[in-house]
Chains A and B, each alone.
Chain A
Amino acid sequence: MPYNKPLPQATPETQPFWDSLKRHQMQLQRCQDCREFYFYPRPFCPRCYSANVAWEDVSGRATLETYVINHRAAPRFEEDAPYVIAVVTLAEGPRMMTNLVGVDPDPGKLPPDLALEVVYDDVTDEVTLPKFRPA
């Protein structure tokens, strides 16, 4: 059955992020002046406003910042419920929303600060989503 859930549509500013996921090597932008990694993608550093930014590989390691366990599925996610929607803090600093995989949707097994690692989920031929599992 074809994948029918919402898919991201890249913009010129975000295309390198989605391309890096497709290669299974996540990249984020890093300010070359103040050395801060940041997310969402944008053409300037949100910390010091420098336009001197570049895409760099990141480790894929993260910790669990916060999460919910959704029992009332969004449309087309019915078969997944209950599922975990999380915000993780990457080892390099930025945060991103994601899903947790490879772990029961049980608060007892999901303490904040849990160590995680990225899983590249090739949901279509064009799109790879970054998901996370316990490291």
Chain B
Amino acid sequence: MGGCSFLIHVRHATAAIAAGMADVVLITHGESGRSRIGVGGQGAAPAQPAGQFQAPYGVGGPPTMFSIPVARYMQRFGVTEEQLASVAVSTRKWATLNPRAAMRDPITVEDVLASRLICWPLHLLNCCLVTDGGGALVLVSEERARDFPKKPVYVLGAGESVEHVNVSMMRDFHESKAYRVAGENAFRMAGLGTDAIDHTMLYDAFTHTPVYMLEALGIAQPGEGTSFFESGRAAPGGDFPINTNGGGLSYTHTGMYGMFAMTESITQLRGEAGERQVPGVEVGLVHGAGGMFSAGATLIWTNQ
């Protein structure tokens, strides 16, 4: 399930604890995406579908595959490269407030468009970082958490979905069914709507991934995800803060970012985010991506 596996682990662990199959579940992530210690060879085996039907055409990692749908999205909704760049600008504003973020200098739309082309329509600053890092979280029953020294966070809703294995088989290139189904299931389980969300983490492997997620989750209308970022609503001071750690674009991205989206959400719910703390956060949403638009996972949780 790729980078959203850790969100899905939370869903499965919650079920296991509720069923009495586990008392304490530890979910961990560690990856040396930058140093590449213990990393095996890349590329699909030549008899696999990806080896037969994608590799011969020169795909080379996520920037060439996660980006495949974007040209159709831009054409369908009339979205520009400038608008996609605004996602990186909004997210970098948060990173300037996070002393742990890898990239903290403010950037402009012009900076994004002037950065070198990686894989059109993606410039360097449309792409996430490649870093070393790790994180972990512990899940227990509500009863067991009662006398813990730290205030717990309670899972309200969780959803997961898989759409395809290879991005060339995605059903509709302008929207993600996997993200939509995961979100619908999480909101239904939580019994909440989007108006209940105080703080949001969206897995930003590239500037377009949080855009697809905003639309799939019903927070933005189809085609209006980039406008949401352009308007400043997601940035510091905005009414719908998104990716407050600086995201995969500016904080960290080991290769599987899902754990870091969750840890920032929990940090905000605990009121421990320092200069970037969003006031009054009671309900947080985390949405993760797996593979190349292959899978999605959503968590909704609360400090109440």
Contact surface of A with B, Cβ cutoff 8 Å: 5-11, 14, 40, 65-75, 77, 80, 82-83, 85, 87, 95-99, 107, 110-112, 123, 129
Contacts and interface: CB of A to CB of B under 8 A. Distances in A.
Nearest to B124: A72
B168 A96 contact: yes
A75 B72 CA distance: 26
A97 B58 contact: no
Contacts of A11: 47, 52
Contact of B54 (A5, A97, A111): A97
Given A73-B60, A74-B60, A111-B75, A85 B68 contact: yes
By secondary structure, the A interface counts as loop
Contacts of B99: none
Interface residues of B, number: 37
A97 B53 contact: yes
Given A6-B51, A10-B52, A66-B68, 20 more contacts: A8-B47, A9-B45, A40-B52, A40-B169, A66-B72, A67-B68, A68-B122, A70-B63, A71-B116, A71-B117, A72-B118, A72-B119, A74-B64, A82-B117, A82-B120, A85-B59, A97-B53, A99-B57, A112-B71, A112-B75
Contacts of B49: 40
A87 B68 contact: yes
B168 A74 contact: no
A129 B166 CA distance: 18
Nearest to A76: B58
B183 interface: no
Contacts of B122: 68
